[in-house]
Copies of this chain bind each other. A is one copy, B any other.
Amino acid sequence: MTLAGPRPATVPSAVRFADGVLYALDQAALPWSERELALRDAEQVAIAIERLQIRGAPLIGVAAAYGLALALAADPGERALLAAHERLRATRPTAVNLTHALERVRAAALEAAEPRRAAAALAQARAIEAEERAASASIAAHGARLLAGARRLLTHCNTGFLAAPGRGTALAVIAEKADREQLELVLATETRPLLQGARLTVYELSRLGIEHRLIADSAAAGLIASGAVDAAIVGCDRVALNGDVANKVGTYAIALAAHAAKIPLVVAGPTSTIDPRIESGEEITIEERGEDEVRRLRGVELTLPGTPCRNPAFDVTPAALVSALVTERGVAEPPNAATISALLHR
Protein backbone atom coordinates (compact mmCIF):
# COMPACT_ATOMS: atom_id res chain seq x y z
CA MET A 1 0.00 0.00 0.00
CA THR A 2 1.46 3.37 -1.03
CA LEU A 3 0.39 6.88 -0.19
CA ALA A 4 -2.28 8.34 -2.45
CA GLY A 5 -0.68 9.97 -5.50
CA PRO A 6 -1.08 13.58 -6.64
CA ARG A 7 -4.76 14.47 -6.57
CA PRO A 8 -6.73 16.55 -9.02
CA ALA A 9 -6.26 20.28 -8.48
CA THR A 10 -10.01 20.89 -8.40
CA VAL A 11 -13.08 18.86 -7.60
CA PRO A 12 -16.56 19.87 -8.71
CA SER A 13 -18.49 22.22 -6.48
CA ALA A 14 -21.84 20.87 -5.35
CA VAL A 15 -23.15 24.42 -5.87
CA ARG A 16 -21.50 27.60 -7.19
CA PHE A 17 -22.96 30.98 -8.13
CA ALA A 18 -21.56 32.91 -11.10
CA ASP A 19 -22.89 35.55 -13.48
CA GLY A 20 -26.43 35.39 -12.19
CA VAL A 21 -26.67 31.60 -12.42
CA LEU A 22 -26.62 28.97 -9.65
CA TYR A 23 -24.75 25.95 -10.98
CA ALA A 24 -25.47 22.72 -9.07
CA LEU A 25 -24.10 19.21 -9.51
CA ASP A 26 -27.15 16.98 -10.14
CA GLN A 27 -26.87 14.60 -7.17
CA ALA A 28 -29.84 12.50 -8.26
CA ALA A 29 -27.77 11.38 -11.25
CA LEU A 30 -24.56 10.62 -9.32
CA PRO A 31 -22.38 8.65 -9.48
CA TRP A 32 -23.34 7.28 -12.88
CA SER A 33 -23.71 10.63 -14.59
CA GLU A 34 -21.88 13.84 -13.65
CA ARG A 35 -23.76 16.83 -14.94
CA GLU A 36 -24.22 20.39 -13.75
CA LEU A 37 -27.61 22.08 -13.60
CA ALA A 38 -27.78 25.81 -14.51
CA LEU A 39 -30.53 27.30 -12.35
CA ARG A 40 -31.64 30.77 -13.41
CA ASP A 41 -34.59 31.57 -11.14
CA ALA A 42 -36.07 30.69 -7.74
CA GLU A 43 -38.53 28.20 -9.23
CA GLN A 44 -35.75 26.19 -10.88
CA VAL A 45 -33.84 26.14 -7.58
CA ALA A 46 -36.97 24.98 -5.72
CA ILE A 47 -37.56 22.16 -8.20
CA ALA A 48 -33.93 20.99 -7.94
CA ILE A 49 -34.24 20.82 -4.15
CA GLU A 50 -37.55 18.96 -4.36
CA ARG A 51 -36.06 16.42 -6.79
CA LEU A 52 -33.10 15.81 -4.41
CA GLN A 53 -30.76 17.06 -7.14
CA ILE A 54 -29.48 19.37 -4.41
CA ARG A 55 -29.34 17.64 -1.00
CA GLY A 56 -27.49 17.82 2.34
CA ALA A 57 -28.89 20.24 4.91
CA PRO A 58 -26.19 22.96 4.70
CA LEU A 59 -26.13 22.77 0.91
CA ILE A 60 -29.90 23.18 0.67
CA GLY A 61 -29.66 26.29 2.85
CA VAL A 62 -27.04 27.90 0.62
CA ALA A 63 -28.85 26.97 -2.61
CA ALA A 64 -32.13 28.38 -1.31
CA ALA A 65 -30.37 31.58 -0.24
CA TYR A 66 -29.11 32.05 -3.81
CA GLY A 67 -32.57 31.15 -5.09
CA LEU A 68 -34.09 34.00 -3.10
CA ALA A 69 -31.42 36.36 -4.42
CA LEU A 70 -32.34 35.29 -7.97
CA ALA A 71 -36.00 36.08 -7.25
CA LEU A 72 -35.08 39.58 -6.06
CA ALA A 73 -32.94 40.20 -9.14
CA ALA A 74 -36.02 39.48 -11.27
CA ASP A 75 -38.47 41.46 -9.09
CA PRO A 76 -37.29 43.41 -6.03
CA GLY A 77 -40.85 44.02 -4.77
CA GLU A 78 -41.81 42.81 -1.29
CA ARG A 79 -44.68 40.70 -2.61
CA ALA A 80 -42.44 38.78 -5.01
CA LEU A 81 -39.88 38.36 -2.21
CA LEU A 82 -42.42 36.80 0.14
CA ALA A 83 -43.78 34.51 -2.59
CA ALA A 84 -40.32 33.23 -3.48
CA HIS A 85 -39.43 32.83 0.20
CA GLU A 86 -42.52 30.70 0.76
CA ARG A 87 -41.94 28.66 -2.40
CA LEU A 88 -38.35 27.82 -1.39
CA ARG A 89 -39.17 27.15 2.26
CA ALA A 90 -41.88 24.66 1.31
CA THR A 91 -39.46 22.46 -0.62
CA ARG A 92 -38.16 20.74 2.53
CA PRO A 93 -40.30 22.11 5.38
CA THR A 94 -38.40 20.39 8.21
CA ALA A 95 -34.89 21.49 7.15
CA VAL A 96 -33.63 23.89 9.82
CA ASN A 97 -30.70 25.21 7.76
CA LEU A 98 -33.10 26.07 4.93
CA THR A 99 -35.42 28.08 7.15
CA HIS A 100 -32.54 29.87 8.82
CA ALA A 101 -30.75 30.78 5.57
CA LEU A 102 -33.94 32.11 3.97
CA GLU A 103 -34.69 34.25 7.02
CA ARG A 104 -31.24 35.81 6.87
CA VAL A 105 -31.53 36.63 3.17
CA ARG A 106 -35.03 38.06 3.56
CA ALA A 107 -34.04 40.21 6.52
CA ALA A 108 -30.97 41.54 4.69
CA ALA A 109 -33.07 42.35 1.60
CA LEU A 110 -35.81 44.12 3.57
CA GLU A 111 -33.25 46.27 5.37
CA ALA A 112 -32.07 47.63 2.02
CA ALA A 113 -33.86 50.17 -0.17
CA GLU A 114 -35.74 48.46 -3.00
CA PRO A 115 -33.18 49.18 -5.74
CA ARG A 116 -30.45 47.60 -3.60
CA ARG A 117 -32.45 44.58 -2.39
CA ALA A 118 -31.12 42.10 -4.96
CA ALA A 119 -27.55 43.08 -4.20
CA ALA A 120 -28.11 42.85 -0.45
CA ALA A 121 -29.70 39.42 -0.81
CA LEU A 122 -26.88 38.15 -2.99
CA ALA A 123 -24.30 39.48 -0.52
CA GLN A 124 -26.06 37.65 2.30
CA ALA A 125 -26.21 34.39 0.30
CA ARG A 126 -22.49 34.72 -0.42
CA ALA A 127 -21.86 35.35 3.27
CA ILE A 128 -23.75 32.21 4.27
CA GLU A 129 -21.80 30.15 1.76
CA ALA A 130 -18.50 31.68 2.92
CA GLU A 131 -19.32 30.86 6.57
CA GLU A 132 -20.06 27.23 5.66
CA ARG A 133 -16.84 26.97 3.66
CA ALA A 134 -14.83 28.47 6.52
CA ALA A 135 -16.40 26.05 9.01
CA SER A 136 -15.53 23.11 6.76
CA ALA A 137 -11.94 24.30 6.40
CA SER A 138 -11.60 24.76 10.14
CA ILE A 139 -13.03 21.30 10.87
CA ALA A 140 -10.61 19.85 8.33
CA ALA A 141 -7.61 21.51 9.97
CA HIS A 142 -8.58 20.56 13.53
CA GLY A 143 -9.37 16.99 12.51
CA ALA A 144 -6.20 16.48 10.51
CA ARG A 145 -4.10 17.69 13.44
CA LEU A 146 -5.95 15.33 15.79
CA LEU A 147 -5.56 12.33 13.47
CA ALA A 148 -2.04 13.09 12.28
CA GLY A 149 -0.85 9.54 13.00
CA ALA A 150 -3.76 7.65 11.41
CA ARG A 151 -3.00 6.62 7.83
CA ARG A 152 -5.93 4.27 7.22
CA LEU A 153 -9.42 5.52 8.07
CA LEU A 154 -12.93 4.11 8.00
CA THR A 155 -15.90 6.39 7.34
CA HIS A 156 -19.68 5.98 7.16
CA CYS A 157 -22.41 7.68 5.12
CA ASN A 158 -21.76 10.84 3.10
CA THR A 159 -20.02 13.83 4.68
CA GLY A 160 -18.01 15.47 1.89
CA PHE A 161 -18.38 18.21 -0.71
CA LEU A 162 -21.76 16.83 -1.80
CA ALA A 163 -23.22 17.17 1.70
CA ALA A 164 -22.13 20.71 2.55
CA PRO A 165 -20.41 23.73 0.97
CA GLY A 166 -16.65 23.52 1.10
CA ARG A 167 -15.30 20.05 1.70
CA GLY A 168 -17.92 18.89 4.21
CA THR A 169 -17.17 17.52 7.69
CA ALA A 170 -15.65 14.04 8.24
CA LEU A 171 -14.67 13.79 4.60
CA ALA A 172 -13.09 17.26 4.79
CA VAL A 173 -10.75 15.86 7.46
CA ILE A 174 -9.96 12.94 5.16
CA ALA A 175 -9.30 15.28 2.21
CA GLU A 176 -7.06 17.47 4.39
CA LYS A 177 -5.05 14.43 5.49
CA ALA A 178 -4.66 13.45 1.83
CA ASP A 179 -3.40 17.00 1.09
CA ARG A 180 -0.85 16.55 3.87
CA GLU A 181 0.16 13.17 2.41
CA GLN A 182 -0.83 11.45 5.64
CA LEU A 183 -3.38 9.09 4.15
CA GLU A 184 -3.02 5.60 2.68
CA LEU A 185 -6.53 4.26 2.44
CA VAL A 186 -10.17 4.95 3.27
CA LEU A 187 -12.72 2.20 3.88
CA ALA A 188 -16.17 3.56 3.01
CA THR A 189 -19.37 1.77 4.07
CA GLU A 190 -22.12 1.47 1.47
CA THR A 191 -24.64 2.87 4.02
CA ARG A 192 -27.85 0.94 3.49
CA PRO A 193 -30.65 1.54 2.97
CA LEU A 194 -30.08 4.63 0.81
CA LEU A 195 -26.47 3.86 -0.21
CA GLN A 196 -25.09 7.33 0.45
CA GLY A 197 -21.67 5.71 0.86
CA ALA A 198 -21.73 3.57 -2.30
CA ARG A 199 -23.23 6.33 -4.43
CA LEU A 200 -21.86 9.59 -3.04
CA THR A 201 -18.83 8.99 -0.80
CA VAL A 202 -17.25 6.70 -3.38
CA TYR A 203 -17.80 9.43 -5.98
CA GLU A 204 -16.24 12.05 -3.69
CA LEU A 205 -13.22 9.86 -2.86
CA SER A 206 -12.80 9.01 -6.50
CA ARG A 207 -12.88 12.70 -7.55
CA LEU A 208 -10.48 13.57 -4.74
CA GLY A 209 -8.07 10.89 -5.98
CA ILE A 210 -8.06 9.15 -2.57
CA GLU A 211 -7.36 5.41 -2.44
CA HIS A 212 -10.47 3.67 -1.13
CA ARG A 213 -12.37 0.42 -0.75
CA LEU A 214 -16.14 0.11 -0.55
CA ILE A 215 -17.48 -2.35 2.05
CA ALA A 216 -20.86 -3.67 3.15
CA ASP A 217 -21.96 -1.98 6.39
CA SER A 218 -21.75 -5.25 8.30
CA ALA A 219 -18.09 -5.70 7.30
CA ALA A 220 -17.00 -2.59 9.22
CA ALA A 221 -16.80 -4.12 12.72
CA GLY A 222 -14.83 -7.21 11.67
CA LEU A 223 -12.41 -5.17 9.57
CA ILE A 224 -11.82 -2.81 12.50
CA ALA A 225 -11.17 -5.82 14.76
CA SER A 226 -8.72 -7.25 12.24
CA GLY A 227 -6.60 -4.07 12.27
CA ALA A 228 -7.58 -2.85 8.80
CA VAL A 229 -7.78 0.83 9.88
CA ASP A 230 -6.12 3.15 12.41
CA ALA A 231 -9.21 5.23 13.22
CA ALA A 232 -12.83 5.81 12.25
CA ILE A 233 -14.31 9.23 11.48
CA VAL A 234 -17.96 10.07 10.95
CA GLY A 235 -20.23 13.10 10.80
CA CYS A 236 -23.15 13.82 13.11
CA ASP A 237 -26.79 14.76 12.82
CA ARG A 238 -27.23 15.94 16.40
CA VAL A 239 -24.99 16.10 19.48
CA ALA A 240 -26.33 16.23 23.05
CA LEU A 241 -24.78 18.45 25.70
CA ASN A 242 -23.16 15.39 27.35
CA GLY A 243 -21.50 14.39 24.05
CA ASP A 244 -23.86 11.58 22.98
CA VAL A 245 -24.07 11.59 19.18
CA ALA A 246 -27.01 10.82 16.89
CA ASN A 247 -25.79 9.94 13.42
CA LYS A 248 -26.66 7.73 10.44
CA VAL A 249 -27.80 4.25 11.49
CA GLY A 250 -24.75 2.00 11.73
CA THR A 251 -22.54 4.52 13.51
CA TYR A 252 -23.09 2.88 16.90
CA ALA A 253 -21.77 -0.52 15.74
CA ILE A 254 -18.68 1.17 14.29
CA ALA A 255 -18.18 2.96 17.61
CA LEU A 256 -18.46 -0.29 19.59
CA ALA A 257 -15.93 -2.00 17.31
CA ALA A 258 -13.50 0.94 17.43
CA HIS A 259 -13.71 1.00 21.22
CA ALA A 260 -13.10 -2.76 21.45
CA ALA A 261 -10.12 -2.44 19.07
CA LYS A 262 -8.77 0.58 21.00
CA ILE A 263 -8.70 2.83 17.93
CA PRO A 264 -10.15 6.36 17.94
CA LEU A 265 -13.67 7.13 16.81
CA VAL A 266 -13.78 10.80 15.84
CA VAL A 267 -17.02 12.69 15.18
CA ALA A 268 -16.86 15.82 13.00
CA GLY A 269 -19.52 18.49 12.60
CA PRO A 270 -20.25 22.18 13.05
CA THR A 271 -21.17 23.45 16.52
CA SER A 272 -24.65 24.13 15.10
CA THR A 273 -25.31 20.37 15.40
CA ILE A 274 -24.89 20.58 19.19
CA ASP A 275 -28.46 20.87 20.44
CA PRO A 276 -28.52 22.97 23.64
CA ARG A 277 -32.01 21.68 24.48
CA ILE A 278 -30.83 18.07 24.76
CA GLU A 279 -28.87 16.91 27.81
CA SER A 280 -28.21 13.33 26.68
CA GLY A 281 -28.84 10.91 23.84
CA GLU A 282 -31.73 9.34 25.72
CA GLU A 283 -33.80 12.40 24.83
CA ILE A 284 -33.22 11.96 21.09
CA THR A 285 -36.16 10.47 19.21
CA ILE A 286 -35.01 8.23 16.37
CA GLU A 287 -36.90 8.94 13.14
CA GLU A 288 -38.12 5.81 11.32
CA ARG A 289 -38.31 6.19 7.55
CA GLY A 290 -40.45 4.33 4.99
CA GLU A 291 -40.35 0.53 4.84
CA ASP A 292 -39.88 0.51 1.08
CA GLU A 293 -36.34 1.81 1.57
CA VAL A 294 -35.53 -1.60 3.10
CA ARG A 295 -37.70 -3.67 0.76
CA ARG A 296 -36.47 -2.19 -2.51
CA LEU A 297 -33.24 -0.79 -3.95
CA ARG A 298 -33.05 1.23 -7.15
CA GLY A 299 -36.41 -0.20 -8.21
CA VAL A 300 -35.50 -3.84 -7.52
CA GLU A 301 -37.32 -6.03 -4.97
CA LEU A 302 -35.01 -7.38 -2.25
CA THR A 303 -37.54 -9.48 -0.32
CA LEU A 304 -41.10 -10.77 -0.40
CA PRO A 305 -43.38 -7.89 -1.40
CA GLY A 306 -45.18 -6.47 1.62
CA THR A 307 -42.61 -7.74 4.13
CA PRO A 308 -42.93 -5.59 7.27
CA CYS A 309 -39.74 -3.68 8.05
CA ARG A 310 -38.23 -1.38 10.64
CA ASN A 311 -36.14 1.43 9.26
CA PRO A 312 -34.54 3.66 11.91
CA ALA A 313 -32.64 6.43 10.12
CA PHE A 314 -30.21 7.12 12.97
CA ASP A 315 -28.74 5.57 16.07
CA VAL A 316 -27.22 7.06 19.20
CA THR A 317 -23.57 6.57 20.13
CA PRO A 318 -22.84 7.21 23.82
CA ALA A 319 -20.18 9.86 24.45
CA ALA A 320 -18.03 7.25 26.23
CA LEU A 321 -17.37 5.61 22.84
CA VAL A 322 -16.40 8.89 21.12
CA SER A 323 -12.72 9.88 21.30
CA ALA A 324 -13.21 13.46 20.13
CA LEU A 325 -15.77 15.84 18.67
CA VAL A 326 -14.19 18.07 16.01
CA THR A 327 -15.95 21.36 15.27
CA GLU A 328 -15.07 24.59 13.49
CA ARG A 329 -14.32 26.12 16.91
CA GLY A 330 -11.98 23.37 18.02
CA VAL A 331 -11.99 19.91 19.53
CA ALA A 332 -13.89 18.50 22.53
CA GLU A 333 -11.64 15.62 23.61
CA PRO A 334 -13.19 13.58 25.05
CA PRO A 335 -16.66 15.00 24.49
CA ASN A 336 -18.51 15.53 27.77
CA ALA A 337 -20.59 18.22 29.45
CA ALA A 338 -17.48 20.26 30.39
CA THR A 339 -15.60 20.11 27.07
CA ILE A 340 -18.77 20.77 25.05
CA SER A 341 -19.76 23.69 27.25
CA ALA A 342 -16.27 25.10 26.76
CA LEU A 343 -16.65 24.80 22.97
CA LEU A 344 -20.03 26.53 22.99
CA HIS A 345 -18.67 29.47 25.02
CA ARG A 346 -15.47 29.83 22.99
Which A positions have Cβ atoms within 8 angstroms of B? 31-32, 187, 189-193, 195, 198-199, 202-203, 206, 212-223, 225-226, 228, 249-250, 252-253, 256-257, 260, 286, 294-295, 297-304, 307-312, 314-316
Measured CB to CB, the closest approach of chain B to A297, in angstroms, equals 6
The answer to whether B297 and A300 touch across the interface, beta carbons within 8 angstroms, is yes
The answer to whether A216 and B193 touch across the interface, beta carbons within 8 angstroms, is yes
Measured CB to CB, the closest approach of chain B to A145, in angstroms, equals 28
CB contact under 8 A between A311 and B215, given known A206-B304, A304-B203: yes
The answer to whether B302 and A198 touch across the interface, beta carbons within 8 angstroms, is yes
The answer to whether A253 and B249 touch across the interface, beta carbons within 8 angstroms, is no
Q: Hey, which chain B residues are within 8 Å of A309, CB to CB?
A: 213-215
The answer to whether A301 and B252 touch across the interface, beta carbons within 8 angstroms, is no
Contact with A221, one of B190, B222, B252 (Cβ below 8 angstroms): B252
Q: Hey, which chain B residues are within 8 Å of A307, CB to CB?
A: 198, 202, 206, 212, 214
The answer to whether A225 and B304 touch across the interface, beta carbons within 8 angstroms, is no
The answer to whether B308 and A212 touch across the interface, beta carbons within 8 angstroms, is yes
Q: Hey, which chain B residues are within 8 Å of A226, CB to CB?
A: 286
In the assembly, what is the distance between CA of A256 and CA of B195, in Å? 24
